Amino acid sequence: MLDHDWFCERAGAEIGALADVVGDAPDIEADVPACPGWTVAGLAEHAGNVHRWATTIVASRAADRQPFPAVESPWSSADGWAQWLRSGALPLLAALRSAGPAEQVWTWGPGGTSGWWARRMVHETVVHRADAELALGIQPVIDPVTAADGIDEFLENLPEARRPARHLASLPAGTSVHLHATDSDGEWVIRFGAAGPGTVTWTRGHEKATAAVRGPVADLLLFSYGRYPATDSRLSVFGDAPLLGLWQEKLAL
Protein backbone atom coordinates (compact mmCIF):
# COMPACT_ATOMS: atom_id res chain seq x y z
CA MET A 1 0.00 0.00 0.00
CA LEU A 2 1.25 3.47 -0.90
CA ASP A 3 0.56 5.74 2.06
CA HIS A 4 0.53 9.50 2.59
CA ASP A 5 4.15 9.60 3.67
CA TRP A 6 5.15 7.79 0.47
CA PHE A 7 3.26 10.28 -1.70
CA CYS A 8 4.78 13.26 0.13
CA GLU A 9 8.26 11.79 -0.22
CA ARG A 10 7.68 10.97 -3.88
CA ALA A 11 6.24 14.41 -4.63
CA GLY A 12 9.35 16.04 -3.21
CA ALA A 13 11.62 13.74 -5.23
CA GLU A 14 9.70 14.40 -8.45
CA ILE A 15 9.73 18.17 -7.98
CA GLY A 16 13.47 17.94 -7.46
CA ALA A 17 13.82 15.81 -10.60
CA LEU A 18 11.78 18.30 -12.65
CA ALA A 19 13.92 21.15 -11.28
CA ASP A 20 17.05 19.26 -12.32
CA VAL A 21 15.75 18.80 -15.87
CA VAL A 22 14.79 22.47 -16.14
CA GLY A 23 18.06 23.62 -14.60
CA ASP A 24 20.06 21.58 -17.11
CA ALA A 25 18.03 22.73 -20.12
CA PRO A 26 20.33 24.21 -22.79
CA ASP A 27 17.43 26.29 -24.10
CA ILE A 28 14.78 27.38 -21.59
CA GLU A 29 12.67 28.72 -24.46
CA ALA A 30 12.56 25.36 -26.28
CA ASP A 31 9.06 24.34 -27.33
CA VAL A 32 7.32 21.52 -25.45
CA PRO A 33 5.51 19.48 -28.13
CA ALA A 34 3.33 17.64 -25.58
CA CYS A 35 1.94 20.99 -24.37
CA PRO A 36 1.34 23.12 -27.47
CA GLY A 37 2.15 26.77 -26.92
CA TRP A 38 4.41 26.11 -23.93
CA THR A 39 8.15 26.47 -23.66
CA VAL A 40 10.27 24.73 -21.02
CA ALA A 41 10.13 27.97 -19.00
CA GLY A 42 6.34 28.07 -19.39
CA LEU A 43 6.06 24.47 -18.24
CA ALA A 44 8.18 25.24 -15.18
CA GLU A 45 6.02 28.26 -14.38
CA HIS A 46 2.82 26.22 -14.73
CA ALA A 47 4.13 23.39 -12.53
CA GLY A 48 5.37 25.81 -9.87
CA ASN A 49 2.02 27.59 -9.82
CA VAL A 50 0.13 24.28 -9.52
CA HIS A 51 2.28 23.39 -6.53
CA ARG A 52 1.53 26.78 -4.96
CA TRP A 53 -2.19 26.42 -5.72
CA ALA A 54 -2.28 23.04 -3.96
CA THR A 55 -0.38 24.53 -1.03
CA THR A 56 -3.00 27.26 -0.60
CA ILE A 57 -5.89 24.78 -0.75
CA VAL A 58 -4.39 22.33 1.72
CA ALA A 59 -2.88 24.85 4.13
CA SER A 60 -6.13 26.85 4.37
CA ARG A 61 -8.33 23.71 4.48
CA ALA A 62 -10.33 25.30 1.65
CA ALA A 63 -13.82 23.89 1.18
CA ASP A 64 -14.22 25.48 -2.27
CA ARG A 65 -12.12 25.89 -5.35
CA GLN A 66 -9.53 28.63 -4.93
CA PRO A 67 -8.35 30.99 -7.68
CA PHE A 68 -5.34 29.72 -9.56
CA PRO A 69 -2.38 31.89 -8.49
CA ALA A 70 -1.37 34.63 -10.87
CA VAL A 71 2.23 34.39 -9.75
CA GLU A 72 5.02 34.87 -12.23
CA SER A 73 8.56 33.91 -11.44
CA PRO A 74 11.03 36.76 -11.90
CA TRP A 75 13.59 34.33 -13.24
CA SER A 76 14.83 34.30 -16.81
CA SER A 77 17.53 31.61 -16.61
CA ALA A 78 17.34 27.83 -16.39
CA ASP A 79 18.92 27.90 -12.92
CA GLY A 80 16.40 30.51 -11.82
CA TRP A 81 13.44 28.43 -12.94
CA ALA A 82 14.89 25.41 -11.16
CA GLN A 83 15.10 27.49 -7.96
CA TRP A 84 11.48 28.58 -8.52
CA LEU A 85 10.35 24.97 -8.56
CA ARG A 86 12.38 23.96 -5.52
CA SER A 87 11.20 26.96 -3.50
CA GLY A 88 7.59 25.92 -4.07
CA ALA A 89 8.21 22.37 -2.93
CA LEU A 90 9.06 23.23 0.68
CA PRO A 91 5.74 24.88 1.67
CA LEU A 92 3.79 22.31 -0.36
CA LEU A 93 5.31 19.35 1.47
CA ALA A 94 4.98 21.13 4.82
CA ALA A 95 1.27 21.73 4.19
CA LEU A 96 0.64 18.14 3.07
CA ARG A 97 2.50 16.61 5.99
CA SER A 98 0.82 18.92 8.50
CA ALA A 99 -2.64 18.08 7.15
CA GLY A 100 -2.11 14.34 6.98
CA PRO A 101 -4.06 12.21 4.50
CA ALA A 102 -7.65 12.65 5.74
CA GLU A 103 -8.19 16.40 6.14
CA GLN A 104 -11.33 17.49 4.28
CA VAL A 105 -10.47 19.97 1.53
CA TRP A 106 -11.71 20.85 -1.94
CA THR A 107 -10.45 18.62 -4.75
CA TRP A 108 -11.36 18.65 -8.41
CA GLY A 109 -11.38 14.86 -8.44
CA PRO A 110 -13.05 12.30 -6.18
CA GLY A 111 -12.13 12.04 -2.52
CA GLY A 112 -12.11 15.55 -1.10
CA THR A 113 -9.07 15.03 1.13
CA SER A 114 -5.57 16.36 1.54
CA GLY A 115 -4.32 12.89 0.66
CA TRP A 116 -5.77 13.31 -2.84
CA TRP A 117 -3.57 16.37 -3.31
CA ALA A 118 -0.41 14.54 -2.21
CA ARG A 119 -1.04 11.84 -4.79
CA ARG A 120 -2.03 14.37 -7.46
CA MET A 121 1.16 16.37 -6.97
CA VAL A 122 3.21 13.24 -7.59
CA HIS A 123 1.60 12.47 -10.93
CA GLU A 124 1.17 16.07 -12.05
CA THR A 125 4.90 16.48 -11.61
CA VAL A 126 5.89 13.11 -13.09
CA VAL A 127 4.06 13.80 -16.35
CA HIS A 128 5.37 17.34 -16.66
CA ARG A 129 8.90 16.11 -15.96
CA ALA A 130 8.41 13.70 -18.85
CA ASP A 131 7.10 16.57 -20.99
CA ALA A 132 10.25 18.60 -20.32
CA GLU A 133 12.52 15.63 -20.92
CA LEU A 134 10.87 14.73 -24.22
CA ALA A 135 11.16 18.36 -25.33
CA LEU A 136 14.89 18.20 -24.62
CA GLY A 137 15.46 14.84 -26.31
CA ILE A 138 15.73 12.87 -23.05
CA GLN A 139 14.01 9.51 -22.61
CA PRO A 140 11.88 9.72 -19.43
CA VAL A 141 12.52 7.13 -16.73
CA ILE A 142 9.61 6.52 -14.35
CA ASP A 143 9.80 3.78 -11.76
CA PRO A 144 7.15 1.05 -12.24
CA VAL A 145 5.44 1.55 -8.86
CA THR A 146 4.90 5.26 -9.53
CA ALA A 147 3.81 4.61 -13.12
CA ALA A 148 1.28 1.93 -12.17
CA ASP A 149 -0.24 4.15 -9.50
CA GLY A 150 -0.27 6.97 -12.06
CA ILE A 151 -2.49 4.91 -14.35
CA ASP A 152 -4.82 4.10 -11.44
CA GLU A 153 -4.99 7.78 -10.49
CA PHE A 154 -5.57 8.88 -14.08
CA LEU A 155 -8.52 6.49 -14.44
CA GLU A 156 -10.00 7.38 -11.05
CA ASN A 157 -9.97 11.09 -11.87
CA LEU A 158 -11.09 10.76 -15.49
CA PRO A 159 -14.86 11.14 -14.94
CA GLU A 160 -14.32 14.44 -13.09
CA ALA A 161 -11.41 15.88 -15.06
CA ARG A 162 -12.75 19.02 -16.72
CA ARG A 163 -11.81 18.44 -20.36
CA PRO A 164 -12.17 14.62 -20.60
CA ALA A 165 -15.50 14.60 -18.78
CA ARG A 166 -17.03 16.67 -21.58
CA HIS A 167 -15.97 14.11 -24.17
CA LEU A 168 -16.75 10.78 -22.53
CA ALA A 169 -20.03 10.48 -24.42
CA SER A 170 -18.11 10.55 -27.72
CA LEU A 171 -16.38 7.25 -26.92
CA PRO A 172 -18.36 4.37 -28.50
CA ALA A 173 -20.52 2.71 -25.84
CA GLY A 174 -19.76 -0.95 -25.37
CA THR A 175 -16.10 -0.65 -26.38
CA SER A 176 -13.14 -1.26 -24.12
CA VAL A 177 -9.39 -0.85 -23.87
CA HIS A 178 -6.96 -3.23 -22.21
CA LEU A 179 -3.59 -1.93 -20.95
CA HIS A 180 -1.03 -4.67 -20.27
CA ALA A 181 2.30 -3.90 -18.60
CA THR A 182 5.15 -6.08 -19.80
CA ASP A 183 7.63 -5.22 -17.06
CA SER A 184 5.47 -5.41 -13.93
CA ASP A 185 2.27 -6.94 -12.60
CA GLY A 186 -0.18 -4.42 -14.04
CA GLU A 187 -3.23 -4.81 -16.28
CA TRP A 188 -6.22 -2.52 -16.67
CA VAL A 189 -9.54 -2.91 -18.50
CA ILE A 190 -11.33 0.38 -19.28
CA ARG A 191 -14.95 0.21 -20.45
CA PHE A 192 -16.86 3.02 -22.15
CA GLY A 193 -20.61 3.36 -21.59
CA ALA A 194 -20.93 0.18 -19.50
CA ALA A 195 -22.54 2.10 -16.62
CA GLY A 196 -24.67 4.30 -18.86
CA PRO A 197 -24.16 6.86 -21.62
CA GLY A 198 -21.01 8.92 -21.25
CA THR A 199 -19.48 6.83 -18.48
CA VAL A 200 -16.09 5.22 -18.05
CA THR A 201 -15.43 2.36 -15.64
CA TRP A 202 -12.31 0.30 -15.09
CA THR A 203 -10.90 -2.66 -13.23
CA ARG A 204 -7.49 -4.16 -12.72
CA GLY A 205 -7.18 -7.49 -14.54
CA HIS A 206 -7.02 -9.34 -17.83
CA GLU A 207 -9.92 -9.39 -20.26
CA LYS A 208 -10.38 -9.46 -24.02
CA ALA A 209 -11.10 -5.90 -25.15
CA THR A 210 -11.92 -3.93 -28.27
CA ALA A 211 -8.33 -2.67 -28.34
CA ALA A 212 -5.25 -3.57 -26.34
CA VAL A 213 -1.92 -1.86 -25.71
CA ARG A 214 1.12 -3.71 -24.35
CA GLY A 215 4.36 -2.15 -23.19
CA PRO A 216 6.43 -1.09 -20.17
CA VAL A 217 4.20 0.42 -17.51
CA ALA A 218 5.91 3.84 -17.72
CA ASP A 219 5.16 3.94 -21.43
CA LEU A 220 1.55 2.93 -20.77
CA LEU A 221 1.27 5.86 -18.37
CA LEU A 222 2.57 8.27 -21.00
CA PHE A 223 0.26 6.71 -23.59
CA SER A 224 -2.71 7.21 -21.25
CA TYR A 225 -1.81 10.89 -20.90
CA GLY A 226 -1.46 11.28 -24.66
CA ARG A 227 2.32 11.72 -24.60
CA TYR A 228 3.02 8.62 -26.71
CA PRO A 229 0.74 7.70 -29.62
CA ALA A 230 -0.41 4.11 -29.96
CA THR A 231 1.88 3.87 -32.99
CA ASP A 232 4.97 4.49 -30.86
CA SER A 233 7.59 1.76 -31.27
CA ARG A 234 7.69 1.24 -27.49
CA LEU A 235 4.12 -0.11 -27.61
CA SER A 236 2.35 -3.07 -29.21
CA VAL A 237 -1.26 -2.60 -30.30
CA PHE A 238 -3.95 -5.20 -30.93
CA GLY A 239 -7.53 -4.80 -32.13
CA ASP A 240 -9.26 -1.52 -32.94
CA ALA A 241 -6.40 0.98 -33.29
CA PRO A 242 -8.71 3.90 -34.23
CA LEU A 243 -10.38 3.55 -30.80
CA LEU A 244 -7.01 4.25 -29.20
CA GLY A 245 -6.60 7.35 -31.35
CA LEU A 246 -10.04 8.52 -30.24
CA TRP A 247 -9.11 7.85 -26.60
CA GLN A 248 -6.11 10.14 -26.91
CA GLU A 249 -7.95 12.81 -28.86
CA LYS A 250 -10.77 13.06 -26.32
CA LEU A 251 -9.36 12.00 -22.95
CA ALA A 252 -5.69 12.95 -22.78
CA LEU A 253 -4.89 15.39 -19.97
Q: What are the chain's domains?
A: 4-141 (1.20.120), 166-251 (3.30.1050.10)
- pLDDT for the residue numbered 65: 96
List the alpha helices (DSSP H) in the chain: 4-23, 40-59, 78-99, 114-135, 144-157, 162-167, 217-224, 241-251
**Closest of 236, 47, 225, 251 to residue 140, by C-alpha:** 225
Q: How remote is the C-alpha of 79 from its chain's centroid?
A: 24
Distant-in-sequence, close-in-space partners of 91: CB < 8 Å, separation ≥ 6: 52, 55, 59
Three-state SS at 179: strand
What does each of the 253 residues of the chain score in pLDDT, given as a tens digit?
Answer: 799 999 999 999 999 999 999 999 999 999 999 999 999 999 999 999 999 999 999 999 999 999 988 766 777 899 999 999 999 999 999 999 999 999 999 999 998 999 999 999 999 999 999 999 999 999 999 999 999 999 999 999 998 988 888 888 889 999 999 999 999 889 999 999 988 888 899 999 999 999 999 999 999 999 999 999 999 999 999 999 999 999 888 887 7
What is the distance of C-alpha 15 from the center of its chain? 13
pLDDT tens string 106-138: 999 998 999 999 999 999 999 999 999 999 999
First CA to last CA distance, the chain: 26
The secondary structure of 7-49 as a DSSP string is HHHHHHHHHHHHHHHHHT-S-TT-B-TTSTT-BHHHHHHHHHH
The predicted pLDDT at position 176 comes to 97
What is the torsional sign of CA 42, 45, 51, 55? negative
